[in-house]
């Protein structure tokens, strides 16, 4: 077991967002977390990457209790977090953004050829400012920058947000290839439930800060209860 989350409760100030969240993630597994807006999906990732300290509960990674650790210590363990919203260092070049991804590991650039192999546009624009990239290119850069560290667990927050459907499909194809090459374990938060469950091995459905359903992704994708929680009585 690579990641074990036990009874995590977390929030902001007096606002409780997550309540007694428990799940585990095996090495090499892809788990997706879906649910309606405000369910606590992003808060879960922020808690796992150390950006929010849990009020109670325990997080274990690769045998170590990392509950309440600072983000700098967590990233050194091999946990990379791609934030929602195309977060790049806009005034820096594409190449400098990628080098920052390797900073925690003393600028080990061994993964740079693989990043350029899967995202060749980044090599073409390596001297260009990151702020001048398109939305899709910024998402590629954010993922590529995270891959520059000695990554074991990739936390992805809404990678499809703001991207055209054809680019979303291409992005998930690339993620599938990266998962094999880097032997990645992935925890994916995604608003597009259909594509997320099609990509993942297993899934969690969050609503109002609690896990409402969990199981194999291929079973959840056709579960009417998932559709009810996610979109009322409609479908995906």
Nearest to 160 by CA among 145, 173, 146: 173
Band the pLDDT of 106: cuts 50, 70, 90: low
Domain boundaries, the chain: 1-78+153-158+184-236, 80-151
Nearest to 17 by CA among 67, 57, 74, 60: 57
The DSSP string of 68-117 is T--HHHHHHTTEEEE-SS----TTSBHHHHHHHHTGGGTT--TTHHHHHH
Q: State pLDDT tens for residues 124-135.
A: 999 999 999 998
When pLDDT is averaged across residues 149-168 and rounded to a whole number, the result is: 90
Q: Measuring CA to CA, how many Å separate 118 from each of 12, 111, 147?
A: 37, 11, 11
Band the pLDDT of 234: cuts 50, 70, 90: very low
Per-residue pLDDT for 67 more than 50?
Answer: yes
Q: State pLDDT tens for residues 163-221.
A: 888 889 999 999 999 899 888 999 999 988 889 999 999 999 999 999 999 999 999 98
CATH superfamily of this structure's domain 1-78+153-158+184-236: P-loop containing nucleotide triphosphate hydrolases (3.40.50.300)
Residues 6+ positions from 63 with CB-CB distance below 8 Å: none
């Amino acid at each position: 077991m690579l990641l074990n989350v036990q009874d995590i409760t977390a929030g902001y100030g007096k606002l409780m967002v997550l309540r007694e969240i428990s799940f585990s993630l095996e090495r090499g597994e892809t788990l997706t977390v879906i649910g309606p807006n405000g369910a606590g999906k992003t808060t879960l990732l922020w808690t796992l990457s150390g950006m929010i300290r849990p009020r109670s509960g325990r997080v274990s990674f690769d045998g170590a209790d990392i509950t309440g650790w600072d983000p700098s210590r967590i990233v050194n363990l091999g946990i990379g977090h791609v934030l929602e919203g195309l977060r790049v260092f806009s005034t820096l070049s594409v190449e400098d953004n990628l080098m920052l991804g390797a900073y925690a590991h003393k600028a080990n650039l061994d993964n740079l050829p693989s990043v350029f192999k899967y995202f060749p546009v980044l090599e073409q624009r390596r001297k260009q400012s990151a702020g001048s990239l398109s939305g899709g290119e910024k998402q590629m850069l954010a993922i590529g920058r995270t891959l520059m560290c000695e990554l074991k667990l990739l936390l992805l927050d809404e990678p499809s947000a703001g991207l055209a459907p054809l680019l979303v499909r291409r992005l998930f194809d690339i993620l599938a290839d990266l998962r094999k090459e880097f032997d990645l374990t992935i925890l994916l938060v995604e608003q597009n439930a259909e594509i997320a469950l099609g990509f993942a091995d297993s899934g969690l459905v969050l609503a109002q800060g609690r896990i409402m359903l969990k199981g194999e992704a291929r079973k959840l994708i056709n579960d009417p209860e998932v559709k009810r929680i996610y979109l009322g009585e409609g479908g995906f």
